[in-house]
A and B are shown apart, each in its own frame.
Chain A
Amino acid sequence: MTAAAEDVVLRLTDVVKTFPGVRALDGVRLEVRAGEVHCLLGQNGAGKSTLIKVLSGVHAPDSGEVSWLGEPVSFGNPQAAMKAGIATIYQELDLIDGLSVADNIYLGHEPQRAGWVRRQQTHDGAMQILARLGHAEIPVAREVGKLPAAAKQIVSMGRALSREAKLLVMDEPSAVLAHDEVANLFRVVRGLTAAGIAVIYISHRLEEIREIGDRVTVLKDGRTMAANLDAKTTPTSELVSRMTGRSIEYVFPPRPPARDAEADARQPVLRVEGLTLDGEFDDVSLTVGRGEIVGITGLVGSGRSELLETIYGARRASAGRVEVDGRPLRPGSVTAAVRAGLGMAPEERKSQALVLGEPVYRNVTLPTFERFASRGFTDAAREQAAAARVTDSLDLRPRDVRRPVRTLSGGNQQKVVVARWLLGATKVLLLDEPTRGVDVGARAELYQVIRRLADEGVGVLLVSSEVPEVLGLADRVLVMREGRLVHAAPAAELDEHAVLDLVMAGSLLEGGTA
């Protein structure tokens, strides 16, 4: 207690943070010591992102204590946290591409005299900081936008150093890096910890945690399931079992009796062969049978969303083909895909799927309004009647289809997106994270809707980062990792543990290391 307790820079006790309908943090404990790499482990939705935001001053906790350097603190805003010495490096690096490396490092606290930036001091200071990070070769005058991802990350860390940060929070820093760049990142991180700086390191890759981590804290459902496990010696099975068995009340519709897999393979409604998109995914082949729900799971950056968008024609494949009902699709044409009977509910509902200012019915008929039109004239009354019919079948609330979509809740907005594909002759529905930002009750309804669609013969290809969702809803599960399909099996033959292990590049089923 004595020696170690003095080292502790950050201590969280029973921190709670709720959002409307969600208890994102529900009693988190965390203890970080100076000079250690403390790893946070947990599935999507376990509360990691919220925790980071509490630490970086974006959110204030509802209750519980955050103690920093022995003093209870509450950061009102990100600037306060930064000033106190906590720097966060987000996955989407918050650098300004048009500014130089030096200007980015000193952004917001430029060395200045009477409002004039002292350029020489900025320049020299940035050089020193980069040298400290072992990357003196990065030219400080270069525009950040012209640097590769790995160098940008170093610049981000340089910014933290320029603020004299004592704690660095890194959110999946390796997701954007190639393999050899990760080794270099680790070298830099070790340099920092040797200087007494604490690092909170978030990664889904167990082998990284083994290599760089000192201690591990596991989160599940916003709670600390295990704290301060040894990162090197704790068995993988123990780590994974702490993360699994999430208690969220998922209600899945009953799965129909086991499907005849061979019949599906013979008569697929969607067939993808050797599909490749350079830099995103490689040589992906899959089939979806009539009335079958196929789930794809994998980490962010595994290429799953890009795969759906490429199948749909929103991106042009580098190689491979897509067939619907045996007929090949014209590559790179959404219009052709829709005509052939494909429908998609994209990942970003608001920016990719909805015209927020327009009424519900116009959003429902967005892909089909021409079918209601005669000789180029639209027929709003028929559209409204048809939209009301399908939205009623999804139990959309409020029921008025003339309300702007903007005024609906997240779950109801998602119903509008799904409803649009019930109007046409949709044969295959591509769903990308259909329940993101949707509360628990609406989730169950969406699951029912998806299953009912499948029962009527629609093939569904579902992408989700929530493993229980894929396992509970899909008939067959495909696991994607680093742009490749690494495993396929009927959902009934898999459990959460096995899938998580595959997703995180573990080796329980494959029998080797990645």
Chain B
Amino acid sequence: MTVGEKVGAPAGGTPAPGASGRRWLRWPEEAGEAVKRNLGLVGVLVAIILVGVATKPELFLDGGWLWNNELLILTQAAAIGVIAVGMTFVMISGGIDLSVGALVALSSVWCTTVATQEFGVGGMVFAALVVGTLAGAVNGLLIGYGRIVPFIATLAMLVAARGLAQRISGKLTQRVSTENRLIPDLSSTKWLGIPALVVILLVVAAAGWVLLNRTTFGRRTFAIGGNAEAARLAGINIRRHTVLVYALSGLCCGIGALIVVSLSSAGAADHGELYELDAIAAAIIGGTALAGGRGSIVGAILGVLIFKGITNLFIVNNLEQEYQLIVKGAIIIGAVLVQGFNLSSLRRRRSAAG
């Protein structure tokens, strides 16, 4: 079958540990670098809390307040977090999705029209997810089969989807009717002490992690972003996969739209404004390469939490919001610089050792 097959030969230097069973739980060896990076991001989160302790000790040292405050941050991070999961897939595949904010608006409006609301909660959820997924698939078709660069295709979708949302809603806020109270109520529901919206975020993130790191879909995403031509010549259908990746991002926007509708009890054409910037920034802070081929779901979620944590810190301290944006900008640059530094120093150490 294969050349010079040696039965029982050691697997390339060191045998793979725990090769049998429980492979879902095993930490991938090649993820060592990502783990280190994510620990660094956790450190930043801890630092944010420590700054809170230093500035408002009476609040941050109160365990109950702190717990509720962190849950609040997580709740506020839910929509962007879910969208950042989709964005991470897109960016690892070498693309970018500027339309996510507009797709949130479109999905939120579509699922809260009078006609949709007549179908009940199930109909609303279905509408939000399908609209998001289809709009994302349109992005993917334009990019994969229409050969339009991702930046342009999704920029056009950003403009058009927002316009369609305004057309459908007549620029009016569409309140969720009392029969469908379940959706707004979700924002105040807790499961096992955890807000339901946070649970949704965690489930999406966990599913995204498994999809990215443990399935053929994720492998294709990395391969296409790492070298599209090599992937194509290895027989991977990169056009079809591009459509699926953008459709996945659209699906995440649909879920994000439901979270936004739940929090605001309404759908509106101005929902999700500038979400694309937050999602891209979170992915980049989390170590996802703009050029593709590298990225981490955990990192992206941590990136969202860092941003929301900073916002929270400013609010708690009654500081002006303008400074908060400046700090966030500095964090994006800092994260990229630190990652570049890590990689180059790692390489130097390697070449020195080998």
Tell me which residues from 305 to 331 in chain A have a Cβ below 8 Å from any Cβ of chain B: 312, 314
A415 and B264 CA atoms in complex are apart in Å by 58
User: In the complex, are the beta carbons of A388 and B234 less than 8 A apart?
Assistant: no
Residues of A within 8 A of B16 (CB): 380-381, 384-385
Interface residues in B218-275 by Cβ distance below 8 A to A read 218-219, 222-223, 226-227, 229-237
Q: Does A82 contact B (CB under 8 A)?
A: no
Cα A247 to Cα B237 in complex, Å, equals 45
Least Cβ–Cβ distance between B230 and chain A, in angstroms:
5
Proximity bits, B90-130, A CB within 8 Å = 1, else 0: 00000000000000000000000000000000000000000
Task: A423 to B23: give the CA distance in the assembly, Å.
Answer: 22
Given A338-B235, A367-B235, also A359-B229 (CB < 8 A): no
Residue in contact with B229 in the complex, picked from A335, A351, A360, A393, CB distance below 8 Å: A351
B226 A355 Cβ-Cβ under 8 A? yes
User: SS class of chain A's interface: helix, strand, loop or mixed?
Assistant: helix
Q: Which residues of B contact A380 (CB under 8 A)?
A: 16, 23, 28
Beta-carbon contacts under 8 Å, B1-52 to A:
2-6, 9-14, 16, 18-20, 23-24, 28-30
Number of A-B contacts (CB under 8 A): 137
Q: Which residues of A contact B3 (CB under 8 A)?
A: 390, 393-394, 422, 449, 452-453, 456
Question: Within the complex, what minimum Cβ distance (angstroms) separates B137 from chain A?
Answer: 20
Q: A367-B235, A378-B215, A378-B216 are in contact. Are A392 and B2 (CB under 8 A)?
A: no
Interface flag for A223 (CB, 8 Å): no
Asked whether any CB of chain A lies closer than 8 Å to the CB of B308, the reply is: no
B217 touches A376 (CB 8 A): yes
Docked CA distance A312–B30 (Å): 32
A389 touches B215 (CB 8 A): no
The reply to whether A352 and B233 form a contact with Cβ atoms under 8 Å apart is: yes
> Among the listed A335, A393, A398, A402, which residue makes an inter-chain contact with B6, where contact means beta carbons less than 8 Å apart?
A393
Closest-by-CB residue of A relative to B24 is A377
Is A401 among interface residues, defined by CB-CB distance under 8 A?
yes
**Chain A: which residue is nearest B5 at the CB level?**
A389
Q: A376-B216, A381-B23, A402-B29 are in contact. Are A355 and B223 (CB under 8 A)?
A: yes
Q: A residues within 8 A CB of B2?
A: 389-390, 393, 422-423
Identify which of residues 381-440 in chain A touch chain B, using a CB-to-CB cut-off of 8 Å.
Answer: 381-382, 384-385, 387-394, 398-402, 407, 420, 422-423
Q: Which among A314, A355, A420 is the interface contact of B231 at CB below 8 angstroms? A: A355
Chain B facing A: main interface SS: loop
Task: Please state if B214 and A402 are interface contacts (CB–CB under 8 Å).
Answer: no
Q: Which one of A354, A393, A398 contacts B227 once the chains associate, using CB atoms below 8 Å?
A: A354
State the Cβ distance, A473 to closest chain B Cβ, in Å: 16
| Nearest B-chain residue to A363, judged by Cβ | B230
Interface centre among A312, A346, A358, A423 (most CB of B within 10 A): A358
Interface size class of B (residues with CB under 8 A): 35 or more
Contacts of A394 in B (CB 8 A): 3
Bound form: Cα–Cα A384–B2 in Å = 15
Tell me which of B231, B233, B354 has the highest count of chain A C-beta atoms within 10 A of its own C-beta.
B233
Interface presence of B348 (CB below 8 A)? no
C-alpha spacing A379/B13, complex, angstroms? 19
Query: A353 contacts which of B5, B215, B233, B354 (Cβ < 8 Å)?
Result: B233
Q: Are B12 and A361 in contact (CB under 8 A)?
A: yes
A420 to B226, Cβ gap below 8 A?
Answer: no
Measured CB to CB, the nearest residue on chain B to A395 is B4
Q: A354-B227, A389-B9, A407-B350 are in contact. Are A338 and B215 (CB under 8 A)?
A: no
- Asked if B294 is an interface residue, CB under 8 A from chain A, the answer is yes
Instruction: Return chain B residues, CB-CB under 8 Å to A388.
Output: 9-13
Is B293 an interface residue when CB atoms closer than 8 A count as contact? yes
B235 touches A400 (CB 8 A): no
Q: How far is the CB of A381 from chain B (nearest CB, A)?
A: 4
Q: Quick one: given A366-B223, A452-B4, are A353 and B230 in contact (CB under 8 Å)?
A: yes
Q: Are A351 and B227 also in contact (CB < 8 A) when A346-B233, A387-B12 are?
A: yes
Q: Which among B2, B12, B14, B236 has the greatest number of chain A C-beta atoms within 10 A? A: B12
- The answer to whether A400 touches B14 (Cβ under 8 A) is yes
A351 CA to B11 CA, complexed, in Å: 28
Given A376-B215, A378-B216, A381-B19: A366 touches B231 (CB 8 Å cut-off): yes
| Structural contact, B13 and A357, CB atoms closer than 8 A | no
Q: Residue on A with the closest CB to B4?
A: A393
A388 to B8, CA, bound (A): 11
> Which A residue's beta carbon lies closest to that of B211?
A376
A337 touches B12 (CB 8 A): no
A344 within 8 A of B: yes
Bound: A381/B13 CA distance, A: 14
Query: What distance in Å separates the Cβ of A336 from its nearest Cβ neighbour in chain B?
Result: 8
Contact of A389 among B6, B13, B236 (CB under 8 A): B6
Query: With A355-B223, A366-B234, A394-B3 as given contacts, are A377 and B12 in contact (CB-CB < 8 Å)?
Result: no
User: Contact between A402 and B30 (Cβ–Cβ < 8 Å)?
Assistant: yes
Residue ID in chain B nearest A382 by CB atoms: B19
Is A68's beta carbon under 8 Å from chain B? no
Please, which residue of chain B has its CB at the minimum distance from the CB of A393? B4
Which of A353, A420, A423: most chain B Cβ within 10 A?
Answer: A353
Bound together, the chains give a CA A399 to CA B215 distance in angstroms of 26
Per the bound structure, the CA–CA distance linking A353 and B227 in Å amounts to 8
A334 within 8 A of B: yes
Contact of A334 among B18, B19, B233, B350 (CB under 8 A): B233
Q: A314-B232, A449-B3 are in contact. Are A379 and B216 (CB under 8 A)?
A: no
Chain A residues within 8 Å of B14, by CB:
400
Q: Is the beta-carbon distance between B237 and A335 smaller than 8 angstroms?
A: yes
A385:B19 contact, CB within 8 angstroms = yes
On whether the beta carbons of B216 and A356 are closer than 8 Å, the reply is: no
Q: Establish whether residues A391 and B12, one from each chain, have CB atoms under 8 Å apart when the complex forms.
A: yes
A124 at the interface (CB under 8 A from B): no
8 nearest A-B residue pairs (beta carbon):
A338-B235, A388-B12, A393-B4, A355-B226, A401-B12, A400-B13, A367-B234, A381-B19
11 residue pairs A–B, Cβ–Cβ below 8 Å: A337-B235, A355-B230, A357-B226, A358-B293, A376-B215, A378-B218, A381-B20, A391-B12, A402-B29, A452-B3, A453-B3
Beyond the given pairs A400-B13, A452-B3, 12 more chain A to chain B contacts, judged by CB atoms under 8 angstroms and listed by A's residue number, are A346-B233, A355-B222, A366-B223, A366-B231, A376-B216, A381-B20, A384-B11, A391-B12, A392-B9, A393-B3, A393-B5, A400-B14
